[in-house]
């Protein structure tokens, strides 16, 4: 076996391990966030492994499906989970330059997220309940406002790196070194606000409450139970982790492995664990000091995020390239 073939096989193996690491540790990240939040609010904290126990409990429960449910309602949990796993597979977590880097494009990532949102909204309306329709309409409104902000934020980096490929953009930031750029600061702030909205966190949504008049994501999945609900919840954990990894590795990529050696990979795992833990604390502080906003104020929130991302792009064009 040639050296090139061996390196390619090692690359595919690392890509598979990275994807499995994404799937396996997403509930752990949520458990960390919940534990830190309880400590900050002076409440009794659950185990950091509690999300795993909740998923196991849901997988063991009976799945109840309404008689008038169509194939859309039945297949949506599998489509949502599978698409989210594919999204995780193309996002650089521990290493860059893997075989999956060829399709690790921000346009592909946004397309996966849009497909997930599309089927979730359809499933919410499929049964015909008022809550499902209400949640679907709210989710589509948030998605229509959040996706342009995400594109604008990542395109700011893409214009600097002259590529929309995530792996190549991360490599460019690594080679550029620690340079304080105002365009990156604006884009990172805009992407953080989008992550809060897309993951259904405070102040846009509150995953801990089930109030009919305020819930967004929970309203679409009220009719799900058992393994179907477990898959959708797991996909939600993954989506939050994907956004946090994007923020960590696109704007602060130091520590990510650029070669497939044991030492580089160990440093990469330690670096992303530290960055995610720190971002989790930042998210907890944000949610603790912020209150759930009214629904009609969400467009203003995302409009401000779009303004930040636009400022990042304009700052790059005017100040950094002299355009």
What confidence tens digit (pLDDT) does each residue in 122-139 have? Answer: 999 998 888 888 889 989
Question: Could you tell me where the DSSP H helices lie in 199-297?
Answer: 217-220, 226-246, 262-289
Model confidence at 25, in pLDDT bands (50, 70, 90)?
Answer: very high
Per-residue pLDDT, 210: 66
DSSP labels, 105-144: BHHHHHHHHHHHHHHHHHHHHHS--HHHHHHHHHHHHHHH
**Structure token digits, residue 193:** 């606000």
pLDDT band at 207 (very low <50, low <70, confident <90, very high): confident
Residue pLDDT, tens place only, 274-320: 999 999 999 999 998 888 888 889 999 999 999 999 999 898 888 77
For 60, the token pair is 């063991």
Inform me whether the pLDDT recorded for 211 exceeds 70: no
Residue 322's pLDDT band, with cuts at 50, 70 and 90, is: low
pLDDT given for residue 304 in this prediction? 94
Alpha carbon 133 to its chain's center = 24
The per-residue pLDDT for 157 is 81
* CB distance 160 to 316 below 8 Å: yes
Residue ranges making up the domain that contains 24 = 3-320
pLDDT computed for residue 184 by the predictor: 87
How large is the average pLDDT for residues 59-86?
94
Is residue 258 classed exposed, middle or buried when 0-12, 13-18 and 19+ CB atoms within 10 A define those classes? middle
User: Looking at residue 178, what is its pLDDT?
Assistant: 62
Asked whether the whole model's pTM tops 0.85, one would answer: yes
pLDDT tens digits for range 85-126: 999 999 999 999 888 888 888 889 999 999 999 999 999 999
> Of 104, 102, 87, 77, which is closest to residue 22 (Cα–Cα)?
87
Length of the chain: 323
Could you tell me which residues come within 8 angstroms of residue 191 by beta carbon, excluding any fewer than 6 positions away?
149, 150, 153, 154, 243, 246, 247, 250, 251, 309
User: Average pLDDT over the chain, rounded to whole?
Assistant: 89
* Structural domains of the chain, count: 1
Tell me, what's the pLDDT at 122? Answer: 94
């Amino acid at each position: 076996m040639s050296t090139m073939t061996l390196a390619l096989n090692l690359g595919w193996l690392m890509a598979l391990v990275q994807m499995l690491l994404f799937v396996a540790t997403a509930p752990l990240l949520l458990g960390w966030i919940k534990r830190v939040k309880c400590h900050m609010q002076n409440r009794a904290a659950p185990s950091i492994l509690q999300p795993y126990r909740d998923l196991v409990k849901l997988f063991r429960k009976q799945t109840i499906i309404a008689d008038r449910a169509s194939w859309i309602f039945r297949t949506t949990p599998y489509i949502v989970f599978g698409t989210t796993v594919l999204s995780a597979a193309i996002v650089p977590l521990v290493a860059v330059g893997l075989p999956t880097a060829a399709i690790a494009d921000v346009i592909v990532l946004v397309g996966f997220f849009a497909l997930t949102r599309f089927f979730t909204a359809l499933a919410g309306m499929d049964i015909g309940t008022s809550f499902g329709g209400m949640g679907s309409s709210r989710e589509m409104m948030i998605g229509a406002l959040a996706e342009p902000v995400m594109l604008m934020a990542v395109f700011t980096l893409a214009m600097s790196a002259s590529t929309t490929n995530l792996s190549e953009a991360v490599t460019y930031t690594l080679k550029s070194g620690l340079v304080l750029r105002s365009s990156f600061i604006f884009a990172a702030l805009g992407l953080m606000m989008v992550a809060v909205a897309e993951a259904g966190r405070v102040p846009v949504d509150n995953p801990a409450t089930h109030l009919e008049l305020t819930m967004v994501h929970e309203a679409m999945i009220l009719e799900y139970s058992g393994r179907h609900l477990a898959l959708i919840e797991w996909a939600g954990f993954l989506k939050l982790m994907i956004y946090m990894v994007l923020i960590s590795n696109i704007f602060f990529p130091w520590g990510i492995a650029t070669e497939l050696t044991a030492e580089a990979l160990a440093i990469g795992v330690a670096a992303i664990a530290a960055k995610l833990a720190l971002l989790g604390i930042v998210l907890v502080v944000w949610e603790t000091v912020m209150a759930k906003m009214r629904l009609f104020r969400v467009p203003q929130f995302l409009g401000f995020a779009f303004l930040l991302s636009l400022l990042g792009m304009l700052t790059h064009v005017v100040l950094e390239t002299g355009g």
